Amino acid sequence: MFNTIHEECGVFGVYSPTVSDVARTTYYGLYALQHRGQESAGIVVNDDGVFSVKKALGLVSDAFSQNDLDSLGQGSIAVGHVRYATTGSDSAENIQPIVVNHNKGKMALSHNG
């Protein structure tokens, strides 16, 4: 189908049956996927329905300090995203994961183009 590799964005998710430091695990996952996107990074942590969000422009190591990871707190689920833009501007409004409210509660979503 394609004659070349098409790597766009990177998505990393964590589930833990017990509350743990899923933010830090997601950080390291995104760091390993950094080659997939270097424009922005974001992490959402779910602790029993309470969402903590940190998103920023730049490389993973620039977007998250140790204090940022600590402030995301503990949880049982996390999703992270590094962006390589194929459309849209390189701006804060385009940083993922996207958090939405719906009739069943909140949901965090990341996609790869």
Active centre residues (catalytic): 9
Q: What's the rounded Cα separation, in Å, for the pair 104 and 16?
A: 22
* Residue 50 one-letter amino acid: V
CA angle 12, 111, 98 (to 5 degrees): 90
**What does each C-alpha distance from 97 to 3, 5, 59, 100, 108 come to in angstroms?**
30, 24, 15, 10, 6
